[in-house]
Structures are given as C-alpha cells and as structure tokens.
Structure 1
C-alpha cells in the first residue's frame, strides 16, 4: 500500500470509495430516504480541502493506484478517515491509521491529535478507542441535516510516531 497526497483529479474516485461506506456506516444516522449522501457538497468540500495549504489530504492506494482509503488532516485535527467498504474487517484500516499517524507526527509540532465522530457511529467509535483515542467530553453538531451530535476524541502521538 502507498500513502500519497490527493489531487483534484482524484475526487470522483475518492467519492466512489467514500459514498458506499458512508451509506453503509451512517445510514442509520442519515436516512437515505430523507438525507441521501450529499455527493456534490462532499465533492466540493474535498476540492477545497485539496487546494488548502493547511490541509493534507491523503489517499491510501494499491500499487496499481486503486484507492483503498482516504484521510484529511489539518494541523492536529483528523478531519476525515475512511476505507473502501470491501476492506472493512480486513485490518487495512488499522495499517492505514498507523501510517497516517506517522505522517501526521512528522508534520505537526503538537503532541496530541483530535477528531470528531458521530455519537451514533458505534463502529467508528470502537475502532478509534481500540487505537488509543479517548473522549474529551466536548461535542458539537454537524452542519449536515439532521445535524447529529459529534463527539470529540484525542490521542497522544507516541514516540514511534515522531
């Protein structure tokens, strides 16, 4: 697997990976009848993040270039993290997570990373907690209707990540 920076040319393929996972993993939060995956809005957000010099957008790809995972990091905040639906349960996300933390540790001077995850996304919460992320007690609401609650987590970077 290869960790590389995303370009605007990657957005459609990135969305092709993100959408099935979002529908499967978040469909109980965002009913697809009422709140279908906002592909255009998410695509616009990815394009803006890719050109933003303060945000690092990463793709985790096979040697042939097929996208298997995606992430975005701004300074000390993990904005997005996901893998292709067919990789769920294979361990790929754990490997990607470790590679991403190492790459982030080289780019930030902060000892702690933070992220937000939907309160009702129990699968993601279990993944992050298994990988050393801890609840901070802070929360917020997403901008996407129906505006579910996001919980904040943080994680110290280990010496091996630096």
Structure 2
C-alpha cells in the first residue's frame, strides 16, 4: 500500500464498516471517522514495523490488510465482493506473508459485536483466547483477541 492508495482503501473500508459495525458504532452518534482512519493508514504505511497491503482485482482496489510482526492488524474486502471467495484468498496471502517473515502463531483483535467477522475468522481456524481490550475509537467498544497457527499445515486443515 502507498499513500496514493489511501483514498481507495477508505472507499472500500467505509461502506463495510458502516454495515457490519452499525450496532457497535451507530452512525447517528459515531459516524465513520474518515479523516482519522486516513491519517492512521498514512502513519501505518510509514511505520517500518507495519506491512500494509491493498487487495487488487483487475486494477481495482477491493480490499486491504496490514500486519505488524505477529499481529494481523487490519483486514477488509469491498462489500460487493462479500461471499465471492476474495476474502479467503486475501487472508491466505496475508498468512503467507506472515510465514515469510517467520511468524508461526498470529493474533488479531475483532470487535466482540462483529459477529460476521468473528464467524469468518473462526471458519478459517482462528480461536478466541477470551482476552478483551477496548477500541480507542469512541464509544470504545470491546475487542476480543483471536489466535491461530500460520504454518502451511494449519492452513490446509481449515
């Protein structure tokens, strides 16, 4: 991902976030923080410990991902691609990148109230640790930690 990709990434991220997280971030009270998210992406692109990626299909940005060491930091696919298999393919590529960096066990955080994402990750072998933290974005909803092995054998079992 480059700084020039950020507007396209936001264009993919915003609609999915609004749909999936309506109960977590009600838009009338907590609208999608477009400028804050764009600033965060730009800072993460510049951070040497973070690898940020765009998911592209036929020269169109259809998703995004970021990793930081063992953390699967961000992930999303355009709402119109949900159910197409694009998310599973992109997820596998991100895990491959983590393996390439020597990661054997990865972790991520997902909003407790995001049942769609939780089901997606659970189908792909992620398991909740029960550890909980809170988002820095108001209203500071709860996040649940998930972990999984990232070796090739674990990927084949899923």
After TM superposition, the structure 1 = structure 2 runs for residues 7-86 of structure 1, keeping only pairs within 5 Å, are: 7-63=2-58, 65-86=59-80
Contiguous gaps of at least 5 residues in structure 2: none
Following TM superposition, by how much is the alpha carbon of 1:159 offset from its aligned partner in structure 2, in angstroms?
3.0
Quick check: 40-49 or 20-29, which moved more?
20-29
Secondary structure (helix, strand or coil) at the match of 2:140 reads coil
**Among 115, 123, 140, which residue is 1:130 paired with?**
123
Give me the CA root mean square deviation: 1.0
Q: Structure 2 CA distance, aligned partners of 1:111 and 1:96?
A: 18
Displacement over 3 Å in runs of 4+: none
Contiguous gaps of at least 5 residues in structure 1: 1-5
Q: Structure 1 CA distance, aligned partners of 2:88 and 2:103?
A: 22
Q: Structure 1 CA distance, aligned partners of 2:21 and 2:130?
A: 22
* TM-score, normalised by the number of residues in structure 1: 0.92
* TM-score, normalised by the number of residues in structure 2: 0.94
Q: Contact 2:112–2:144 (CA<8 Å) still a contact in 1?
A: yes
Q: Structure 1 CA distance, aligned partners of 2:28 and 2:152?
A: 46
Aligned pair count reads 154
Could you say which residue in structure 1 is the equivalent of 2:85? 91
Following TM superposition, by how much is the alpha carbon of 1:91 offset from its aligned partner in structure 2, in angstroms?
1.3
Could you say which residue in structure 2 is the equivalent of 1:145? 138
